[in-house]
Amino acid sequence: MTANTPRTAGRHFLQIPGPTPVPDRILRAMDMPVLDHRGPEFQRLGKRVLENIKGVFKTKNHVFIYPASGTGAWEAALTNVLSPGDKVLMFETGHFATLWKNMALKLGIEPVFISSDWRTGADPEALEQKLREDKNHEIKAVCVVHNETSTGCVSPIGKIRKAIDAAGHPALYLVDTISSLASIDYRHDEWGVDVTVSGSQKGLMLPPGLSFNAVSEKALKASKTSKLPKLFWSWEEMIPHNKNGFFPYTPGTNLLYGLDAAIDMLNEEGLENVFARHDRHAEATRRAVRAWGLEILCRVPEHYSSSLTAVLVPDGHNADDFRGRVLDAFDMSLGTGLTKLQGKVFRIGHLGDTNDLTILGALCGVEMGLALAGIPHKEGGVQAAMQYFAAQAGKPRSIAAE
């Protein structure tokens, strides 16, 4: 804030699909003196978070933690298991899948990109067919974004595992869960994922600056023969240090205090209840959008995201002008349309540390903003969400979303 910026009272409504609002308890947990990252106190913290983070990924295997944004963990996943010229199968689910594909190209990997209209998740049948055609097993990995944050479409990770198995193909399975981990049901071990990529600033409720690779035995084995250059991202460099709770370089010490608190909070609520809460907030948001008479970008209901909803604005209107009006009038940030979708959609983030009334506040801001921006719509979206929340409130928490 500059001295010339007038103070805005109350909390800013950060309703973008990440970074998400950081709970006070996590802010307090990080408000600590910086400590010696080679000393005994850090060692206890390091051991604790390296062990406890496994539960969030639903894995018994190792999880690597990097002092980096999610993009770093993408690069770590690719460089640790692949070699120059390797073919990888990727799905064009949206902006983030496209960025990951562009990274693969830069690294000297050869992506085979299955295109889509950015309104659905990845298709297991298309994947199975491509893998069956690959008789010589030239494809070394399948890469999928679980929750495509640019579109609000989720890919069926368990079904894609089954499709890889049905094709009898040995490719590694790499999944980006940056905006789904701790928001949407995810099972690293059960779904046979080889590398799960994630980040701190979305469902984990932390500031940006940490990212993750959860790995399988098969991925660790592949890393022994992978030839892409890596040092900062190298699992091999990390493993001997992690065994004792340490890192080969300075880790994000204070963010790790925050991670420790975030894992406790998720476990206290119960992961299944966290998922049910996200499902409920997503359903309320979709009911509001439908009542306004606007269109949800995701056209396949089974692929609806519980982390965010992308909403199309009618032709002749600009979603970013609308977002600007909402920010000025109500101090709320909504997600912008990315690349192909710029000006065409706005995104309502409903992930992280939110509750029913926060979501209603956000929906109030959207409904008032639609009127201010002159976007044709019907009233009653907030009312529809209120009715849904009120009806759900009497039910046991973990069943409420069903």
Ligand X SMILES: *Cc1c(COP(=O)(O)O)cnc(C)c1O
CB count in 10 Å sphere of residue 220: 18
- What is the chain's percent helix, strand, coil content, to nearest 5? 45, 15, 40
Closer CB to ligand X, 143 or 384, in the complex? 143
Distance CA 173, CA 194 (A): 5
Q: Least separation, in Å, of the C-beta of 176 and ligand X?
A: 5
Report residue 345 CA to chain centroid gap: 19
Query: Using CB atoms, what's the residue nearest to ligand X?
Result: 70
- Give the SS3 label for residue 214: strand
The residues binding ligand X (CB under 6 A) are 18, 69-71, 96, 145, 149, 176, 178-179, 199, 208
Distance CA 104, CA 330 (A): 40
Q: Least separation, in Å, of the C-beta of 199 and ligand X?
A: 4
Closer CB to ligand X, 192 or 208, in the complex? 208
Q: Which two tokens stand for residue 38?
A: 């080679």
Closer CB to ligand X, 199 or 365, in the complex? 199
Q: Least separation, in Å, of the C-beta of 312 and ligand X?
A: 20
How many CA atoms lie less than 13 Å away from 183 in the CB half-sphere?
36
Closer CB to ligand X, 46 or 203, in the complex? 203
**Residues flagged as binding site for substrate:** 347
Q: Measure CA of the first residue to CA of the last residue in the chain; give whole Å.
A: 43
Closer CB to ligand X, 201 or 226, in the complex? 201
Closer CB to ligand X, 214 or 384, in the complex? 214
Q: Least separation, in Å, of the C-beta of 3 and ligand X?
A: 30
**Residues flagged as binding site:** 347
Report residue 291 CA to chain centroid gap: 27
Contact 273/399 with Cβ under 8 angstroms? no
Q: Least separation, in Å, of the C-beta of 103 and ligand X?
A: 10
Contact 151/312 with Cβ under 8 angstroms? no
Q: Least separation, in Å, of the C-beta of 303 and ligand X?
A: 14
Residues 6+ apart with CB under 8 A from 133: none
